[in-house]
Structure 1
Amino acid sequence: MKRWGEAFYDDALSGAEVLDQVQIAVVVTDRFSNLRYWNAYAGKLFGLDGGSRHLGVPLVDIGIHEADHEQLAQLARRVLKGDTWEGAFAVLRGDSTWVHLRASAVPLKHPSGAVDGVVILANEALRSGRVEEQYGLLDRIGRRLASSLEFEATVKAVAEILVPQFADHCFVDLYDRKRMIRRVSVHAEGWTPPPGSWPDVGEEVHYPERHFVSKALRRMETVVVSDYSNPGGVFPNRRSVRVSEQVGVTSVIAAPLRARGETLGVLTLALSGLTSRDKTDYDSFDRDLVGAIASRVAVAIDNARLFEEERDTALAFQSSLLPRDFPQFDGLSIAHDYLPAKPLESYGQGIQTQVGGDFYDVIPLSAGRVGIVIGDVEGRGPHAAAVMSQLRAALRAFAQADREPAEILRELDEWVRRLGRPDDEGGTWVPSVSCLYMAYDAWSRELSYANAGHQPPLLICDGKVDDLELAIRDKLLGVRPKGVPGDSVYRQDVLTLPPGATLLLYTDGLVARRPLGGVVDVTEGLQRLQARIREVADKDVQQIVEAAEKAVPGETDDDTALLVVRSHSEELALKQEWFAAEAPTVAEARHLAADTFKEWGMDRDQAELACLLVSEIVTNVVIHATPHPVTREFTDEGVKDSDDQLSLDGFDEFDEDWSDLLEEAEQAEEPAPVSREFLLRLRRGASSVWVEVFDHDLRLPRIRTAGADDEGGRGLYLVDQLAERWGSRPTPDGKAVWFQMPMHRTENDGG
């Protein structure tokens, strides 16, 4: 006689036969979540046939509820790393009914140890009875409520979980001040209430005093109704009674939504004949379950409202700190946008308002030039936005003073370090800031820039899209490298843009998108951005902005600043000439200006006024700005400069022998004569004319009050009173004085 074990092995089933007989779903996918195997029970549970029609189909395409796609993405990420996963999701079966599943997933490993795929074991959550039903619903609803703070989407998603698994109809009515408004209306089988029956979403709802919903709100308890001997006491009007009878409503539940001591509204569920189910009436178990669900929904609604209020406030604050519109700049077309990030709790960063410190600006500089800036403050929230606002204000002040780009970044670096705040460890937290500042001259297409760790903009020209080649990328603002004492040095460089060039400046939130089930790939994001921009390279700047925002799919946990600047020189003109800094050249400079203004079609009165101001600033150069080299004389009493001012005395207090210095001073060569000439430059734009005078004197002019008998002192006063704007700025070998006048054209001029 054979022993039991021997008989068993003689009649042993194959592995596939065993799996086909077990009452649990077994599904195998490859590394890309495509179906590779399923047993008979899985075919029944998911509605899969026994053939190969579904072989290779993505797991998300076999009826998994859309709200659970992120669950599957988390499953794949976790298991492919070698871990296990447990959770729940809903499946729409072939007969159009929903089934709630509890599932476990484990890695499928190759003999070499590599993970080849995923094995999923699943069963119906309702299989074990009412306790499992309660667990499944509460677990699923709790996860959905915790996954988002967007009020409308979250509440509607909860309603779609309840319908049709637990109800055929779901309504959510919320108070808006003293009125009750229907916010959610979801029905099974895609059924829609006839017009004029049950209130639509957005309509006000009135419940009679004896209505079961009024009773639930008055008592602050969940109410179940299964007796329809008096249907008028169940529904708010006769039309609703008629519709309910036609649909076949058999039972209803109303649960008040109350959170933090405030009644927010009511949740109503109903069973009818829309779906085939054994259950036709709600009971006390269902009442308790819906009461627990309503409590969670109420807290979620209250949290969502508070979050939306905080988010709206934060976004209004952020938007007020960024420029809404820019003035019209001659030779430039500009478009811009700011995109706040969406809250992404699933990445372990908690729920946040998602405002950040991304910023951009276009700043008018002297003589039609502009300053272009893009930057990103580390972190998010009100503190990052506050740092950004102070930084942008300081940058504007430095830029409008015509400071050099590298000098501006040096000042900002010190400014950022002063904005540090105490951290949790007793030290000082200093934000790091990326910033790219560029000064652009549309007439010469010359771009002078300094870069504090920001990615280069995209250069769009002749249908090509590439990174603008920036030779400089220095450290972030606020970051002091270890071992480097003192202030950090920022460099600057100059390049010339090609004609008709367009620059796309952006922060990293534009390309660091997180696709569903994937990870951030900035390189791929940049490639997608460049490919999309090539398609719209010849479009206007606003269309480029819109295309860039949609170029990279997925969501981001960082905000995005976006700025597009296009240069076009069709409306620009320039005339310049060097003159000797002598009295006769004042008339020559004025004649050049008059002829040029006439050639440009400038209004005669406006041209004469501009010529008057040209005479004033040229005269100022000839009289006051002629270079006066300063020499120093070494004596026993000290050092005296050429205006006989003692610079240093008390040589006897020092032990040094000054004879060598005196000898060197006597042998020193006479300083080379400084050039006595100036450059008159005239610029024309679409709406303005700029006049610049360059000389080799380092002293900047200033307005002074002239007395009644003074012969001078009124030139700059006239410029200040008559010009639209004026100013002066240092240059590498002197200074420039400029003023701006509106470009009024003569009546017969076609422009």
Structure 2
Amino acid sequence: MSPVNPYDDAATARAVIDDTGVVLHWNEGASRLLGHPPEGVVGRPAADLLADGSQDEFPKPGDARWHGVLKLRHRDGHVVSARVLARRRGPDDGRPAGWLAVAALDSVPDPADDPLVNLALTQSPCAMLIFDEQLRLCGVNDAMARLTMVPPEHLLGLRLTDIDSHPEYAKYEENLRRVLVTGKPHEVETFQPVPGETHPQAWLARVARLTGPDGRIRGVCASVHDFTEQHRARERLQLVNEASVRIGTTLDVTSTAQELAQVCVPVLADFVSVDLLDPGEHGGEHPDRPLPPVALRRAAHTSITPGCPEAVAEPGRLDDYPAGSPQAECLVTGRAIVTTVPSGDGEGWRSLDEVPFRGVREDGVHSMLCVPLQARGATLGVAVFARFRSPVPFTHEDVLLAEEVTARAAVCIDNARRYSRERETTLTLQRSLLPRQLPPTAAVQAASRYLPAARAGVGGDWFDVIPLSGMRVAMVVGDVVGHGIQASATMGRLRTAVRTLADIDLAPDELLTHLDDLVVRLSDESGGDGTGEVGATCLYAVYDPVSRRCTLARAGHPPPVLVPPDGPPHHVELPSGPPLGVGGLPFESAELDLSEGSVLAFYTDGLIESRERDGDTGIALLCETLAAAPPGTSSAALDQTCDRVLRTLLPPGGAADDVALLLARARGLPPSRVATWDIPADPALVAPVRKQVLDQLATWSLTEASFTTELVVSELVTNAIRYGAPPIRLRLIHDATTLICEVSDTSHTAPHLRRAKTWDEGGRGLLLVAQLTQRWGSRHTAEGKTIWAELALLDQG
């Protein structure tokens, strides 16, 4: 018989037995084990091969796997003890159902006496330590001896704390003692500095208790594995994960650049700086590839050294980097560049401009990595990573890691840049649409504040003070739903509409009805997809200083707060009204009598509402703040109150929504400044009326305005008698700079200017009034109409 190849399947005894116990296959190894040739076994019951008493040990048909020791009958009659492993195989794999049995002689040497096992333990590539029950070292294999660099015979019999007094050794020995007592395996990660390496060597030690055959605890063993590469890969993944979490938490360019620098120090570099291109140098846009010399503005930097002494440029400073500098080459080529100076003295950069590279020489930077910040096809700037404390230069893996982190940061910086640009555009639009300063009126003293949202973007809040005829004044505050340019543009359209509707002296509820129709039309014009749908809230009030009565109406807007001169602040009860854009629902007005010096506070919901506070709590806090406002009747006092309100109600980081605040202190006109006459509907009695008007002007010391006033009164009264309906009333209102003449009747027909022809006998009266007065107009009232004209007293004489 030919020699057996030890690696051949024939060296193993194999047999296949079906479910009936008949042998289907018998290999050469089985023939060698029992001496039976295949033709003498195949087709016969397998039980014939069992020695007496072994039949009960054979696997049952329902088993899936079986193992045990069988007594088998050799061909020459003697009994062979064999270890058998049998597994079931079914018809699903295309073969007959049955058992595949593998057998070997039942003669296993004692591992303690097996030289092969001893050689394996000694020469295993896994470093091993064996300690007795007193935790004294009693065994060290070759791999561990190479790590300790001390001959094993000098270590045996010692405890770890005898070998070294480092705290890590004491900690490790405590872990050994815990395993020895509890019997629970334990894993320990340790890090050992390696000369010339940036990162320490990482080791994973697995500790287990050793127990003898008699159950006695004999000691513990520790297997030590080098997992430095796995640890570094884990660090890299952790850095990438931290970058995705920590970079881009705000939409601020500088903060995002600072987050990039902080994430990479000290894991990747000892010093990191982020320098950005100025869009203004390139027509407002970032170029694909800038040409040297490159002007970069320092956005952020971070160092492993407290105080960042390596930074030669303060944040915000602009420096020029010439051709040949790592920063310029990095931006021109669009790829990362590693520059290494083995001597660490910065000699390679001595020829460049002094200031940007002074730190390279003075701080001992020996390796520098420049990575371009690129996003959406544009180059935003460069991130510079420098090493001076770590002795190892940047590797290819470091470059890949830096590129991954900066790529994420570049997108965040670009998002912040785009947001900042859109926000600035929106703010510019918002400021252009809001009143630059409130117009001075005799009716109210006013102060206002507008603050855009800190994070959500500029919205559509607005406020306005609109002078009306008869020394009255309209006050409005509104809030467009949404944020961004669209909201600001809608706000501008609504503010213009309010001023137009106010100019024709509509009552507050009527004005809101017309404004609601406009918002509905704007939503319809935006399309049916809902993306341009418009919604808003508004509060509109008209105050008459003569009657000291304020008429208000609101469309889903928070009610104003009234601060009377002799009582606590409280919010005004008003019918709420639906928000603008709902359509088809009515609005209601309410009237309020205001005492001299009363203050009305108008605001948007961004002032009173936040995540931590609901609207009712915010109104209560606003009332408390207004109650504690500094006393005084000057405009400066109102400005101080505005600032106090914002400081108290808004968080330090700014409001989550836009805030508009308008404070108006009511003034009353003394009765001595108003004169009223009931006019009979008789043209012959106009002369006595003119005489009464001249006498009143003399009482007011306004004789310089007598001629003009007499003509205007004569024309307006005559027109009311001819074309109006009684009763007719004439009222003169005297302000410090203005004289107002009003004629009211019960007719709803409004006059209008027209150019009279040469042969016309009339039609020139209103044209004369328009030429003699500062402005004139008409307004509808509940009883009819009022024609009014204003004369500027400063222009007289």
> Cα gap change, 1:588/1:295 in structure 2, threshold over 3 Å: closer, same or farther?
same
- Contact kept, 8 Å, 1:371 with 1:439, in 2: the verdict is yes
> Cα gap change, 1:522/1:451 in structure 2, threshold over 3 Å: closer, same or farther?
closer
Q: Is 1:527 matched up with 2:620?
A: yes
| From 490, 496, 508, the counterpart of 1:405 | 508
Q: Note the C-alpha offset of 1:613.
A: 0.9
Which segment is superposed worse, 460-469 or 421-430? 421-430
Q: Note the C-alpha offset of 1:677.
A: 4.0
The 2-side partners of 1:703 and 1:205 are apart by 66
Q: Note the C-alpha offset of 1:498.
A: 1.7
SS of alignment partner, residue 589 of structure 1: helix
One-letter amino acid of the counterpart of residue 577, structure 2: D
The 1-side partners of 2:323 and 2:241 are apart by 35
- Contact kept, 8 Å, 1:211 with 1:233, in 2: the verdict is no
The 1-side partners of 2:767 and 2:322 are apart by 79
Spell out, residue by residue over 1:672-709, the C-alpha distance to the aligned partner (whole angstroms, 9 max, x if none): xxxx4422211122322211112233332233443444
> Cα gap change, 1:426/1:552 in structure 2, threshold over 3 Å: closer, same or farther?
closer
> Cα gap change, 1:719/1:295 in structure 2, threshold over 3 Å: closer, same or farther?
same
Gaps (5+ residues) in structure 1? 1-43, 45-125, 345-353, 481-486, 628-675
SS of alignment partner, residue 129 of structure 1: helix
The 2-side partners of 1:316 and 1:497 are apart by 36
> Cα gap change, 1:160/1:462 in structure 2, threshold over 3 Å: closer, same or farther?
farther
Q: Note the C-alpha offset of 1:166.
A: 4.1
TM-score, normalization by structure 1 = 0.66
Q: Note the C-alpha offset of 1:191.
A: 2.4
SS of alignment partner, residue 665 of structure 2: strand
Matched with 1:198 is 312
Q: Is 1:560 matched up with 2:675?
A: no
Which segment is superposed worse, 438-447 or 178-187? 178-187
One-letter amino acid of the counterpart of residue 385, structure 1: S
SS of alignment partner, residue 546 of structure 2: coil
Q: Note the C-alpha offset of 1:242.
A: 6.2
Spell out, residue by residue over 1:23-48, the C-alpha distance to the aligned partner (whole angstroms, 9 max, x if none): xxxxxxxxxxxxxxxxxxxxx9xxxx
Q: Is 1:436 matched up with 2:539?
A: yes
- Contact kept, 8 Å, 1:232 with 1:238, in 2: the verdict is no
The 2-side partners of 1:617 and 1:567 are apart by 30
The 2-side partners of 1:512 and 1:160 are apart by 35
The 2-side partners of 1:714 and 1:219 are apart by 79
The 2-side partners of 1:745 and 1:238 are apart by 67
**Aligned positions of 1:355-366 closer than 5 A:** 355-366=458-469
Matched with 1:222 is 336
Matched with 1:207 is 321
Q: Note the C-alpha offset of 1:268.
A: 1.0
Q: Note the C-alpha offset of 1:398.
A: 2.0
> Cα gap change, 1:247/1:596 in structure 2, threshold over 3 Å: closer, same or farther?
farther
The 1-side partners of 2:501 and 2:526 are apart by 29
> Cα gap change, 1:431/1:200 in structure 2, threshold over 3 Å: closer, same or farther?
closer
Matched with 2:680 is 580
The 1-side partners of 2:270 and 2:709 are apart by 80
The 1-side partners of 2:784 and 2:619 are apart by 43
> Cα gap change, 1:406/1:526 in structure 2, threshold over 3 Å: closer, same or farther?
closer
- Contact kept, 8 Å, 1:422 with 1:428, in 2: the verdict is no
Q: Note the C-alpha offset of 1:281.
A: 4.4
The 1-side partners of 2:333 and 2:554 are apart by 66
Q: Note the C-alpha offset of 1:363.
A: 2.1
Q: Is 1:395 matched up with 2:505?
A: no
The 1-side partners of 2:540 and 2:481 are apart by 18
- Contact kept, 8 Å, 1:678 with 1:693, in 2: the verdict is yes
Matched with 2:418 is 306
Q: Note the C-alpha offset of 1:520.
A: 4.5
The 2-side partners of 1:328 and 1:692 are apart by 22
> Cα gap change, 1:605/1:254 in structure 2, threshold over 3 Å: closer, same or farther?
same
Spell out, residue by residue over 1:142-194, the C-alpha distance to the aligned partner (whole angstroms, 9 max, x if none): 22333222111221232233345544422222222252222323334442549
> Cα gap change, 1:128/1:529 in structure 2, threshold over 3 Å: closer, same or farther?
farther
One-letter amino acid of the counterpart of residue 778, structure 2: S
Matched with 1:687 is 737
| From 236, 251, 260, the counterpart of 2:367 | 251
Q: Note the C-alpha offset of 1:446.
A: 0.9
The 2-side partners of 1:232 and 1:506 are apart by 64
The 2-side partners of 1:357 and 1:239 are apart by 47
| From 608, 617, 632, the counterpart of 1:511 | 608
**Aligned positions of 1:132-211 closer than 5 A:** 132-176=234-278, 177=281, 179-191=295-307, 193=309, 198-211=312-325
The 2-side partners of 1:257 and 1:300 are apart by 10
Q: Note the C-alpha offset of 1:552.
A: 1.9
> Cα gap change, 1:533/1:128 in structure 2, threshold over 3 Å: closer, same or farther?
farther
Matched with 1:294 is 406
One-letter amino acid of the counterpart of residue 338, structure 2: V
Q: Is 1:233 matched up with 2:283?
A: no
Matched with 2:694 is 594
Q: Note the C-alpha offset of 1:441.
A: 0.8
One-letter amino acid of the counterpart of residue 579, structure 1: I
Q: Note the C-alpha offset of 1:457.
A: 0.9
The 2-side partners of 1:704 and 1:258 are apart by 67
- Contact kept, 8 Å, 1:687 with 1:743, in 2: the verdict is yes
> Cα gap change, 1:729/1:159 in structure 2, threshold over 3 Å: closer, same or farther?
same
SS of alignment partner, residue 427 of structure 2: helix
| From 710, 720, 735, the counterpart of 1:611 | 710
Gaps (5+ residues) in structure 2? 1-166, 168-227, 282-293
| From 244, 260, 264, the counterpart of 2:380 | 264
Q: Note the C-alpha offset of 1:342.
A: 2.7
One-letter amino acid of the counterpart of residue 500, structure 2: A
SS of alignment partner, residue 318 of structure 2: coil
> Cα gap change, 1:698/1:746 in structure 2, threshold over 3 Å: closer, same or farther?
closer
**Bigger CA radius of gyration:** 2
TM-score, normalization by structure 2 = 0.63
Root-mean-square deviation (CA), in Å?
3.2
Q: Is 1:455 matched up with 2:505?
A: no
Which segment is superposed worse, 147-156 or 127-136? 127-136
Q: Does 1 or 2 have the higher relative contact order (CA < 8 Å, sep 6+)?
A: 1
Q: Is 1:495 matched up with 2:592?
A: yes
One-letter amino acid of the counterpart of residue 737, structure 1: I
The 2-side partners of 1:746 and 1:209 are apart by 72
> Cα gap change, 1:590/1:258 in structure 2, threshold over 3 Å: closer, same or farther?
same
The 2-side partners of 1:326 and 1:169 are apart by 52
Q: Note the C-alpha offset of 1:202.
A: 3.2
> Cα gap change, 1:424/1:405 in structure 2, threshold over 3 Å: closer, same or farther?
closer
The 1-side partners of 2:273 and 2:772 are apart by 69
SS of alignment partner, residue 744 of structure 1: helix
The 1-side partners of 2:270 and 2:780 are apart by 77
> Cα gap change, 1:200/1:375 in structure 2, threshold over 3 Å: closer, same or farther?
closer
Q: Note the C-alpha offset of 1:374.
A: 1.6
Q: Note the C-alpha offset of 1:742.
A: 0.8
Q: Note the C-alpha offset of 1:447.
A: 0.9
Spell out, residue by residue over 1:577-616, the C-alpha distance to the aligned partner (whole angstroms, 9 max, x if none): 32323335423332333233333343x4334212221122
> Cα gap change, 1:547/1:133 in structure 2, threshold over 3 Å: closer, same or farther?
same
**Aligned positions of 1:532-547 closer than 5 A:** 532-538=625-631, 540-547=637-644
The 2-side partners of 1:422 and 1:715 are apart by 43
Matched with 2:427 is 315
The 2-side partners of 1:460 and 1:127 are apart by 71
Spell out, residue by residue over 1:390-420, the C-alpha distance to the aligned partner (whole angstroms, 9 max, x if none): 3333322222111222222222222222222
> Cα gap change, 1:740/1:142 in structure 2, threshold over 3 Å: closer, same or farther?
same
SS of alignment partner, residue 705 of structure 2: helix
The 2-side partners of 1:462 and 1:222 are apart by 70
SS of alignment partner, residue 551 of structure 1: helix
The 2-side partners of 1:192 and 1:622 are apart by 86
One-letter amino acid of the counterpart of residue 383, structure 2: L
The 1-side partners of 2:506 and 2:309 are apart by 68
